[in-house]
Amino acid sequence: MFNLPDSYNVAILGATGAVGTELLQLLEERDFPLKSLKLLASPRSAGSKINFKGQAIAVEAVSAEAFKGIDIVLASAGGSTSKQWATTIIEAGALMIDNSSAFRMDSRVPLVVPEVNPEAAESHQGIIANPNCTTILMSVALWPLQRVQPIKRIIVATYQSASGAGARAMAEVKQQAQAILNGEKPLTESFPYPLAFNLFPHNTPINEQGYCEEEMKMVNETRKIFNLPDLRISATCIRVPVLRAHSEAINIEFEQPFDVAEAREAIEQAQGVQLVEDWNANYFPMPIDASGENDVLVGRIRQDLSHPSGLELWLCGDQIRKGAALNAVQIAELVVSKQWLKLKSPVAA
Closest to 25 (Cα-Cα) out of 246, 17, 247: 17
Specify whether the CB–CB gap between 129 and 104 falls below 8 A.
yes
Q: Spell out the residues 6+ positions from residue 42 whose beta carbon is closer than 8 angstroms to its own.
A: 61, 62, 77
Q: Which of 124, 133, 237, 316 is catalytic?
A: 133
Specify whether the CB–CB gap between 155 and 312 falls below 8 A.
no
Q: How do beta strands 72-75 and 49-52 pair?
A: unpaired
Q: Which of 124, 202, 237, 246 is catalytic?
A: 246
Closest to 135 (Cα-Cα) out of 233, 264, 66: 233
316 classed as catalytic:
no
Specify whether the CB–CB gap between 236 and 215 falls below 8 A.
yes
Longest Cα pair distance anywhere in the chain, in angstroms? Answer: 60
Please state, in angstroms and as integers, the Cα–Cα distance from residue 342 to each residue in 203, 336, 339, 345, following that order.
38, 9, 8, 9
d(CA 345, CA 109): 12
Tell me the one-letter amino acid at 19: V
Phi, psi of 312 (to 5 degrees): -120, 145
237 classed as catalytic:
no
Positions marked active-site = 133, 246
